[in-house]
Amino acid sequence: MTTDLFLLILPIVLIDLTLKIVALIDLYRRPRANGPKWMWTLAILIVSTFGPIIYFIFGRSKGA
């Protein structure tokens, strides 16, 4: 029972971790973002899976 739950949750955790890592790398490679970078860093790290998604939709600067 416990391994079934673990195998069910593992892909979700891996997707969340991958999204956060990719979003943080993208944020720090960009010269500008829509808003302060520290704010986007907190949003990416704290707001669960939706933080990186919100960053990719609203935080990326159009010019870069």
Q: pTM for the complete prediction?
A: 0.81
Please report which confidence band the pLDDT of residue 1 belongs to, taking 50, 70 and 90 as the band edges: low
Average pLDDT score over residue span 50-57: 90
Domain boundaries, the chain: 36-64
| Residue 24: predicted pLDDT | 95
- Block residue for tokens 């970078």: 37
Most confident of 4-8, 22-26, 47-51: 22-26
| pLDDT of amino acid 3 | 86
The long-range contacts involving 11-20, CB below 8 angstroms and separated by at least 24 positions, are 12/49, 15/49, 16/48, 16/49, 19/49, 19/52, 19/53, 20/44, 20/45, 20/51, 20/52
Q: Which pLDDT value is given to residue 37?
A: 93
Report the chain's mean pLDDT, rounded to a whole number.
Answer: 89
